[in-house]
Amino acid sequence: MKQGIPGFIKAIINTYSVLFFSQSRALGIILLLVTFFNIQVGLCGLACVVFSLGMVHAMGYQRENIQLGIYSFNALLLGIALGTFYHVNTLFFLWLAVACLIVVVATIILAERFNKSGLPVLSLPFIITFWVVLLAANSIFKTGLQQKSSYLLEELYNGPGTLAGFQGYLAIEFPFYLNLFFRSLSAVLFQNNMLIGMLMSVGLLIHSRITFSLLVIGFVASCALNAVTHTYADGISYYHLGANFMMTTAAVGGFFIIPSWRSYLAAVLAIPVIVILVNAFTGILGVYYLPVLSLPFCLVNITLLYVLKLRKNPRKLNLITIQHYSPERNLYQFLNHAERLNDFKYFPLHLPFMGSWTVSQGYDGAITHKNDWGQALDFVIEDEDKNTYKLPGTLPEHFYCFNKPVLACGDGVVENVVDYIDDNAIGQTNEKENWGNTVVIKHTNELYSKVSHLKKNSIKVNPGDIVKQDHLLGLCGNSGRSPEPHLHFQAQATPYIGSKTLAYPFAYYTTNDRQSDPFHCFTIPQEGVVLSSPEINTSIKKAFDFQPGYMAKISTASRSEMIEVYTDELNQSYIYSKETEATAYFINNGTLFYFTSFYGNKQSLLYYFYLTAFKVIFSSNESIIAHDVYPVQQTTNKAKLWLQDLIAPFYQFIKLEYQSSYQPQKNGVAIQSKQTDNTIPVMEATLNIANNSLQGFNIRYNGTTIEAQWTTENM
Amino acid sequence: MQKLKYERPYIKKLNAGIMNKFGTRTDAQAFTHIDGVAVKSVIAQYGSPVFVLSEKQIRRNYRSAYRAFSTRYPKVQFAWSYKTNYLNAVCNIFHQEGSWAEVVSGFEYRKAIGNGVPGNKIIFNGPNKPKEDLLLAIENDSLIHIDHFEELNLLISLSENLVMKPRVAIRVNMDTGVYPLWDRFGFNYENGEAWTALTKIVNSGKLQLVGLHCHIGTYMLSTNAYGIATTKMCDLAMRCKNQLKQTIEYLDLGGGFPSTNTLKGAYLPGTDTVPSADDFAEVITTTLLNFGFTNDDLPLLILESGRMLIDDAGYLLGSVVANKRLGDGKRAMVVDFGVNLLFTSFWYEHQISPAQDFTPHVENMTVYGPLCMNIDVIRESVNLPLINPGEHVVVHKVGAYNMTQWMQFITERPAVVLIDEQQQSHIIRTSETLNYIEEPESTPPHLK
């Protein structure tokens, strides 16, 4: 129970904030408070929330959704609506409870069905339930419900006297459209109160600058459209303006789609569609005396999402995959991940040899890499004079690459092997058995790799063998269409020896280039480049070997945190700090370690570790520098961040760059890292490693200096 | 018409030997430039004799050897054998190329530290490591290769009160089928001493066993011996993992690879008979890869090759002092460098080239050094053209050991010059002066 009560209260607050697609506690509390401007409304809303939360909790539905308020916000809307439109009497409470039950059941069923297609349920359960209640109340049978006014949306809310006076004062003092904006916003909660709208604006601004700016854009665009078309002679009603027009722009522009100028455009284009829908449904539903409510909003969003989801190769207007309930965070994480997470995009292919080799023919090379077979690489070994052989160079044995081990470039299953073709004399080619001795490995259903021109009878694997990365396949030779020994490598989508090629990058390799960065991630090497696999420092690699169950204590002079490594249901690993509940997701792919995202307390020691070890390459080559970029929201300059948030979909001026590199130490190893905000240093940190494990880190960040010890608990 | 070069008249004994289709021509060719720098100008600038080292050749040798191993095995590390040539400039070329340091005394150890080598990249070998040197190595987290039980016991007692466990390996000696058997260094494999030492290290709990080291000989002409040595080392490593639960991180196969110098008494020239780095690499890496280690457990392969990497990058330039006819009628040539500078002339038949154009007639002769000692013979018998006094000669492949084993004897030791990759010469050790040699001396007052 100790954890139950704050959890339950959080769920209540989330139910309020999720109305505006948020998890902001400030917004939730503000929304909760404004409903209590009318005690009846506030109590009805809260009662429905508590009732529905208690019900779904007792019945054991998905915990995360309960926490997020997904099952309860429709009940909240219902409670507020009923509280606003009906007089309180004994029967009211009965029907409120019944309606609440209906709405919860409807929510659960609809949410489950929609979820299968990846669509949100929005306020559909509320709309349906409210219609049912209205139809029942207006039927010829007596329900005992007394409507406050016959015309639902013209119902004007009259608050307590003092407020009314203040309201009147505000209405006079404020320009018409400002007044209209705030009242429209309050209409989302079935209110028509400028003060409520103002308070909600403050909450929304705290929650998200993007959402707030989209609400304003929606308001301006709708009013402008109406000014041109004169569809609504008296202006758009408060309710439709708020709950349909403005909410749609906010949802389309920033919540379901990664915010961008395209999503903003889509949001504005949705406005005339809403006009059509509002008018159409008003006509149909008017027959049954039913209000349209937010049905147009729901239909536009769900349809648009469904259409976007059906795309095969979405390039623009990307949908949100991991919902952070903040348009800013969604955008920054998306941009950051697009730049960083190559591990999810590609199967990691490694160089199929040891040591330094030269690309003698690159993609679309001049000799044989043509057309459909153009995306292949030829490798040889060269000496300082760029010769591939030692004198006299008349036999294959004189060539440096001849007889050298050829390795599996990644884990897979051997698909095809040819091992009987004679090696050519130097200068001769065998165009009949073009590819010579060859091994094809299947890595995934759509990715195969092939090495060719191997030495006769040197191949050590058979079709069907399971090979791991760096497994010895055979020896480099001179068979097939090969006038001098070389290694042909290509990726392909089909398993055949003659398959056409597929452009595919190597995961990691280093070049001996002294001018530029020698470390290359997920790139296709160019012709003439001398490249080798990165040398892995086993000490650093072992220090970052965070298997699930790894536990350590991070401690400073004044505090300490226990951390433990877990793996979630999507097989993503994360570090969890028990004291602060902070969570940091990471990837360790054997060549480097990097964090993908951080959630929770930014005062935690885990956060400082996240900043320090944002990306670490397991290399003891001092010239290799790991470059990376933090998500923008990690900046410490809040004022600048708010400004950035407003224009983030169009332009990012904050760039938080990260660098780390190996530093030799007298004892053990150190990784030095720093963060720069547009080249201004923000953070400097050092990570110490000895005896194959982390020893601690020092960090200077945002005016604080932390010296932390790292003690492994169970290793 | 150009004036013909004056040719001294000479009388030559008629040798009625077997007819030779090559006639009496010598292989010697005028060797006028080293990496584009004229021999004459070097001598003019730095005096005669003078040692010259080619940075370009050193780097080529290193890269070629590294290529031979690294294209066959994933984890290769070279450690520069300081005793082969510990001039700081030379060491730093190797360190720039990525070599660690392999030292065998406190003196060499401090030299390596002075060259900026991180402590954990220094391998401390040798049969005599005094207590203070060991303490220094422990403090710097260097790799200590234990040679005998006395040292092992000393290390255990030294690490009694330390938080850090010193990182150690043992030197192992073994029968690899070659003569002589180097069983004076380290612990013997066959009689079980090596295993006893390993057990003792692990059981002590005070030392961190990280590697195994062997060095089976010098100027090894058989690659097969390295195959045997590698197998025995792998066997020990595997037993350590399986029985002592101690993963061996590296195998140090030492050095012993030959340069292309011709050994005394060899029938054919070294260039034709000596196995290349590739031949050694093939045997060693194939053995390692096929031994049965998993990919992640493959030990780091450390090589301490010295001679192979530097011998042919060194030249000794000198001048002819005199020519004379010996009692038996054989010709002799006296040059201005002796065995005190060219220690390796006791082992090798060094190739000597004239540094300027010469007449085509050659004569068998003995080359003597300038020392007033009978043993000062550079070559006992070599076919060379007649070189006039004051003209220059070049001795090839002298880069290994000469600049560390040379003796200050009778004269000062000469300068050492490095020619860099841009064909610029740099003096890396000046010739000694009387003051330098007398500086440590002191004369008691009554003798002044």
Render pLDDT for B274-319 as a digit per residue (tens, 0 to 9).
999 999 999 999 999 999 888 878 999 999 999 999 999 999 999 9
Structure tokens at B194: 């090596």
Assess contact for A647 and A631: CB atoms under 8 A.
Answer: no
Q: How many domains are contained in chain A? A: 3
Assess contact for A42 and A227: CB atoms under 8 A.
Answer: no
**Partner A contacted by B249 (CB < 8 A):** yes
CA–CA gap between residue B46 and residue B425 (Å, rounded): 10
Q: Are A427 and A552 in a shared domain?
A: no
pLDDT of A30 higher than 50:
yes
Where are the domains positioned within chain B? 33-53+312-438, 125-305
Q: Would residue A336 count as lying in a domain? A: no
**Partner A contacted by B120 (CB < 8 A):** yes
Structure tokens at B404: 């560390």
**Partner A contacted by B100 (CB < 8 A):** no
A3 band by pLDDT with thresholds 50, 70 and 90: very low
A161 band by pLDDT with thresholds 50, 70 and 90: very low
Average pLDDT of chain B, as a whole number: 92
Render pLDDT for A686-707 as a digit per residue (tens, 0 to 9).
999 887 889 999 999 988 899 9
Least confident stretch, A171-180, A422-431, B65-74, B409-418? A171-180
Render pLDDT for B106-129 as a digit per residue (tens, 0 to 9).
999 999 999 999 998 999 999 999
Is there a contact between A468 and B63 if contact means CB atoms under 8 Å apart?
no
Percent of chain A with pLDDT over 70: 95
Asked if omega into B258 is within 30° of 0 (cis), the reply is: no
Percent of chain B with pLDDT over 90: 79
**Residue closest to A409 by CA, chosen among A463, A473, A456:** A473
CA–CA gap between residue A598 and residue A610 (Å, rounded): 8
pLDDT of A460 higher than 60:
yes
Q: Are A611 and A491 in a shared domain?
A: no
What is the domain range of residue A412?
357-504
Residue A681 pairs with which residues in a beta bridge? A676
Residue A680 pairs with which residues in a beta bridge? A677
Query: What's the distance, CA B81 to chain centroid?
Result: 8
| pLDDT for the residue A407 | 95
Selected residue with higher pLDDT from B180 and B63: B63
Query: What's the distance, CA A581 to chain centroid?
Result: 20
Q: Are A500 and A552 in a shared domain?
A: no
CA–CA gap between residue A307 and residue A690 (Å, rounded): 54
**Residue the block writes with tokens 């999810």:** A344
Structure pTM?
0.81
Which residues make Cβ contacts (< 8 Å) with residue A306, sequence separation at least 6?
A117, A119
Q: What is the DSSP letter of A71?
A: T
CA-atom Rg of chain A in angstroms: 32
| pLDDT for the residue B36 | 93
> Which residues of B, range 20-59, sit inside 8 Å of A by Cβ?
59
Phi, psi of A536 (to 5 degrees): -95, 130
Please tell me which residue of chain B has the smallest CA distance to A383.
B64
| pLDDT for the residue B6 | 74
pLDDT of A2 higher than 70:
no
Q: Domain B125-305's class?
A: alpha beta
CA–CA gap between residue B322 and residue A492 (Å, rounded): 74
CA–CA gap between residue A255 and residue A247 (Å, rounded): 10
Final residue of a structural domain among A150, A172, A194: A172
pLDDT of A160 higher than 50:
no
Assess contact for B314 and B400: CB atoms under 8 A.
Answer: yes
Final residue of a structural domain among A172, A204, A227: A172
Q: Chain B contacts of A664, Cβ < 8 Å?
A: 118, 120-121
Least confident stretch, A170-179, A493-502, A550-559, B384-393? A170-179
Q: Would residue A332 count as lying in a domain? A: no
Superfamily, domain B33-53+312-438: Lyase, Ornithine Decarboxylase; Chain A, domain 1 (2.40.37.10)
- Residue A679: which H helix or E strand, with range? none
**Partner A contacted by B64 (CB < 8 A):** yes
CA–CA gap between residue B399 and residue B59 (Å, rounded): 13
Structure tokens at B294: 């998993």
Q: Would residue A295 count as lying in a domain? A: no
Q: 10 Å Cβ neighbour count for B181?
A: 14
CATH of the domain at A135: 1.10.3430.10
Q: Are A642 and A702 in a shared domain?
A: yes
pLDDT of B325 higher than 60:
yes
Q: Left, alpha or beta for B266 (phi > 0: left; psi -120 to 50: alpha)? A: beta
**Partner B contacted by A620 (CB < 8 A):** no
Residue range A705-715: average pLDDT?
Answer: 81
Q: Would residue A350 count as lying in a domain? A: no
Is there a contact between B74 and A354 if contact means CB atoms under 8 Å apart?
yes
Q: Would residue A439 count as lying in a domain? A: yes
CATH of the domain at A433: 2.70.70.10
Is there a contact between A353 and B71 if contact means CB atoms under 8 Å apart?
yes
A193 band by pLDDT with thresholds 50, 70 and 90: confident
The helix/strand/coil state of A68 is: helix
| pLDDT for the residue A620 | 84
The helix/strand/coil state of B129 is: coil
Render pLDDT for A300-340 as a digit per residue (tens, 0 to 9).
999 999 999 998 888 888 888 888 888 998 898 888 888 78
Render pLDDT for B347-381 as a digit per residue (tens, 0 to 9).
999 999 999 988 777 888 999 999 999 999 999 99
In single-letter form, the type of residue at position A247 comes to M
**Residue closest to A523 by CA, chosen among A686, A348, A275:** A348
B165 band by pLDDT with thresholds 50, 70 and 90: confident
**Residue closest to A333 by CA, chosen among A23, A325, A305:** A325
Minimal Cα–Cα distance from B172 to chain A, Å?
Answer: 25
pLDDT of A158 higher than 60:
no
Which residues make Cβ contacts (< 8 Å) with residue B282, sequence separation at least 6?
A403, B72, B223
| pLDDT for the residue A60 | 86
In single-letter form, the type of residue at position A130 comes to F
Taking every pair of Cα atoms in chain A, the longest distance, rounded to a whole number of angstroms, is 108
B16 band by pLDDT with thresholds 50, 70 and 90: low
Q: Which H, E and C letters describe A222-265, residue by residue? A: HHHHHHHHCCCCCCCCHHHHHHHHHHHHHHHHHHCECCCHHHHH
Residue range A164-184: average pLDDT?
Answer: 75
Render pLDDT for A240-289 as a digit per residue (tens, 0 to 9).
888 899 999 999 998 999 999 999 999 999 999 999 999 899 888 888 88
| pLDDT for the residue B2 | 80
Q: Are A498 and A551 in a shared domain?
A: no
**Partner B contacted by A383 (CB < 8 A):** yes
Work out the angle at residue A244's Cα, subtended by the Cα atoms of residues A238 and A250, and round it to the nearest 5 degrees: 110
Residue range B240-247: average pLDDT?
Answer: 92
